[in-house]
A and B are shown apart, each in its own frame.
Chain A
Amino acid sequence: MSKANVTRRQRVRSTLQNASAFLKTFRRSKMGVLGLAIIVFFIALALLAGPLAPYPPKLMGAGQPFEVPSAEHWLGTDDVGEDLYSQLLYGTRVSLMVGFVAAFMSTIIGTMVGLISGYFGGKLDEFFMRVIDVLIIIPGIPLMLLLAAYLGPSIWNIIFILVFFGWTTIGRVVRSQTLALRELPFIESARASGAGDMRIMFTDLMPNLVGIIVPQAILSIVGAILGEAGLSFLGLGDPTNQSWGLMLYYAESYGAFLRSAWWWIIPPGLCITLVGIGFTFVGYALNDIFNPRLRRRGA
């Protein structure tokens, strides 16, 4: 009883030590800290969209059509006088939500496929790798557009499509790491002591894969956010959940150019880019911390 308590306490302490060592290393990465600051800022915007937004995002006639940015309307208004600052705030929610959910699901699927493929090898592995190869060669955007056109504009359809194409990178990376780990002595000894496949995969291999999965998962958020923006920009977005990409679609369709409404064109794209940079920086910083060999090769 007391012995079990001691080991548990030790484990908790070593986890805490690991975490604080991790934080120390992370804080040293300028890129990582900057990226994290950007992400935290946008998550705060998304959470506080309700109280921060001066108008409901789709309130026509909140101002005159095509108003220049002013104290009243920080980012001006669109063709029917809707407040663009409010739209941008609510758009943050949609874009981030789609990015997180799609990346999360892609990560789960990619990890499973990569783990199973790398661990068992053989015909199954061959099959999954060919599937990934095919998905990489077929131009994704035209196929995504075709699917989205049939499925109709809904946020879940978009997420489904993004996941369908999004799991391949993580699948590949996890598979090659599993292949390398599989041959190491500690897996051998786990097998010798009678551990089953499931146990080896999830208790022995998985903790060693986290360092490679987490940075990839964060980078795949960028892909998902850009993907959603792209589908929305081509008119396949969900009109009831207006994202940054859909704002740009409306800007392009309803004469932002002709009216020289730069305030309608620049902010949504800038937000997408900044969020993308934020997640990319954090992804790269984590990769440097978790996989230091990759870093040293260059220097």
Chain B
Amino acid sequence: MREFVLKRSVFMLITFLVVLCLNFILPRVMPGDPITHLMGDVRLPPAVRQSLIARFGMNKPVWEQFLAYLANTFRGDFGVSFSQYPKSVATILLERLPWTLFLLTTSVTLSTLLGIYLGVIGAWRHGSRIDVGIQATGLALWSMPIFWLGMLLLYGLGYVLGLFPMGGATSAVMSYPNTLEFVKDVLWHSTVPILTLTLGSYASNTLIMRGAMLEVLSEDYVLTAEAKGLGQNNVMWRHAGRNAMLPMVTVIALNLAGVVGGAVFTETVFSYPGVGLLIFNAIQAHDYPLLQGAFFVVAVTTIAANFFADLLYARLDPRIKY
């Protein structure tokens, strides 16, 4: 187990270094001039441009640029945003990140629970109408662009029925009478975005949980449990379901990158002020420093979450070998 954790740590470190290098290399190999990409925009006053060029060593040799980049990155300095000058990229990202983390954690949790539940039910009654229904819904949602799903839900639940707001994370009020009101407002605004992300990502969880469960159901210990006369729920959840859940940890981790992508689309559709909407706005405004910073932060967060899932997996399954 220690070996597993060690190997995964090394791998995550390598992935982190790849992201670190990509973030440096991209503006320099893409068509156009790196200074123009990163700090040469007319929206920045000339004095600011000059100080940025000096700070990032842009007129020095590439390896000195790389050292300056490393030092600045670890200090949390990603330059200045073009479109939201004078705010720094780091300040903007810090404002936006909590909203995205909130959407991601809730929807990943919900889609995992939903996937486990439907996967277990589907496998238990495989071939039944319920099972076919679960699989068909899963395949349909899997083939559906998540932003379109979001648009439909927003149109139906928000526009036609008027049950939920048309966008944003909070109402446009200055202050709330108490914390409870604030929480209620946040939940009201986030319900449909979370629903979208959950529906958009539960399909693969369900299909994989169902497969794992089918495999477990053919194990001898499940037969033993049934032969002992244990109740259906007991066998289904405590004996079979629990063991089928193990591979799910890895699956959730591998799906994370996809869910993060889904968040970009969902936030854009619902004007939800997270990093995803920020990425969309940065694209529209040709704000490359902001785009680079957002990519870096999102990638590092995903790598960290993956590593956390690895640790969890190592704890849950002591048999693990790498």
Q: Which of B179-187, B224-232, B237-245, B299-307 binds A?
A: B299-307
Contacting pair A233 B159 (CB below 8 A): no
B residues in contact with A245, CB < 8 Å? 145
Contacting pair B148 A269 (CB below 8 A): yes
B188-231 CB mask vs A (1 if < 8 Å, else 0) is 00000000000000000000000100110000000000000000
Contacting pair B37 A142 (CB below 8 A): no
B residues in contact with A94, CB < 8 Å? none
Question: Which residue of chain A has the shortest Cβ distance to B257 in the bound complex?
Answer: A139
A261-296 CB mask vs B (1 if < 8 Å, else 0) is 010011011001101110111000000000000000
Contacting pair B155 A262 (CB below 8 A): yes
- Say which residue of B30, B256, B294 sits within 8 Å of A142 (CB atoms): B294
Contacting pair B260 A248 (CB below 8 A): no
B98 within 8 A of A: no
How far apart sit A136 and B306, CA to CA, in the bound complex (Å)? 11
Chain B interface, DSSP helix/strand/loop, else mixed: helix
Smallest beta-carbon distance B144→chain A, Å: 5
Contacting pair A145 B15 (CB below 8 A): no
Chain A interface, DSSP helix/strand/loop, else mixed: helix
How far apart sit A138 and B154, CA to CA, in the bound complex (Å)? 29
B252 within 8 A of A: no
Contacting pair B283 A233 (CB below 8 A): no
B57 within 8 A of A: no
Given A265-B152, A269-B151, 18 more contacts at CB 8 Å? Answer: A130-B11, A138-B15, A138-B302, A140-B261, A141-B262, A141-B264, A145-B279, A147-B26, A151-B31, A230-B265, A234-B265, A235-B280, A252-B269, A257-B155, A257-B159, A272-B143, A272-B144, A273-B145
Given known A-B contacts A150-B37, A272-B148, A130 and B14 have beta carbons under 8 A apart: yes
Q: Which of B274-305 contact A (CB under 8 A)?
A: 279-280, 282-284, 286, 288, 291-292, 294-295, 298-299, 302-303
Smallest beta-carbon distance B46→chain A, Å: 24
Q: Report the 6 A-B pairs with minimum CB-CB distance, sorted nearest first.
A: A276-B143, A141-B261, A269-B148, A150-B30, A139-B260, A139-B257
Contacting pair B284 A235 (CB below 8 A): yes
B164 within 8 A of A: no
A298 within 8 A of B: yes
A residues in contact with B145, CB < 8 Å? 226, 229-230, 233, 245, 248, 269, 272-273
Question: Which residue of chain B has the shortest Cβ distance to A251 in the bound complex?
Answer: B151
- Say which residue of A130, A140, A145, A273 sits within 8 Å of B140 (CB atoms): A273
Contacting pair A269 B291 (CB below 8 A): no
B22 within 8 A of A: yes
Smallest beta-carbon distance B42→chain A, Å: 18
A137 within 8 A of B: yes
- Say which residue of B19, B126, B269, B284 sits within 8 Å of A138 (CB atoms): B19
B18 within 8 A of A: yes
Is the interface on chain A under 10, 10 to 19, 20 to 34, or 35 or more residues? 35 or more
Contacting pair B279 A142 (CB below 8 A): yes
Given known A-B contacts A150-B27, A150-B32, A265-B155, A137 and B303 have beta carbons under 8 A apart: yes
A residues in contact with B151, CB < 8 Å? 248, 252, 257, 265, 269
B residues in contact with A252, CB < 8 Å? 151, 269
Question: Which residue of chain B has the shortest Cβ distance to A131 in the bound complex?
Answer: B18
- Say which residue of B30, B139, B280 sits within 8 Å of A277 (CB atoms): B139
| Chain A interface residues (CB < 8 Å from chain B) | 130, 133-134, 136-143, 145-147, 149-152, 222, 226, 229-230, 233-236, 245, 248, 252, 257, 260, 262, 265-266, 268-269, 272-273, 275-277, 279-281, 297-299
Contacting pair B299 A139 (CB below 8 A): yes
- Say which residue of A140, A265, A268, A297 sits within 8 Å of B257 (CB atoms): A140
Contacting pair A136 B280 (CB below 8 A): no
How far apart sit A127 and B265, CA to CA, in the bound complex (Å)? 33
Q: Which of B99-156 contact A (CB under 8 A)?
A: 126-127, 139-140, 142-145, 147-148, 151-152, 154-155
A residues in contact with B280, CB < 8 Å? 234-235
- Say which residue of A145, A260, A269, A272 sits within 8 Å of B264 (CB atoms): A145
Given known A-B contacts A133-B11, A142-B298, A150-B26, A277 and B155 have beta carbons under 8 A apart: no
Question: Which residue of chain A has the shortest Cβ distance to B144 in the bound complex?
Answer: A273
B residues in contact with A235, CB < 8 Å? 280, 283-284
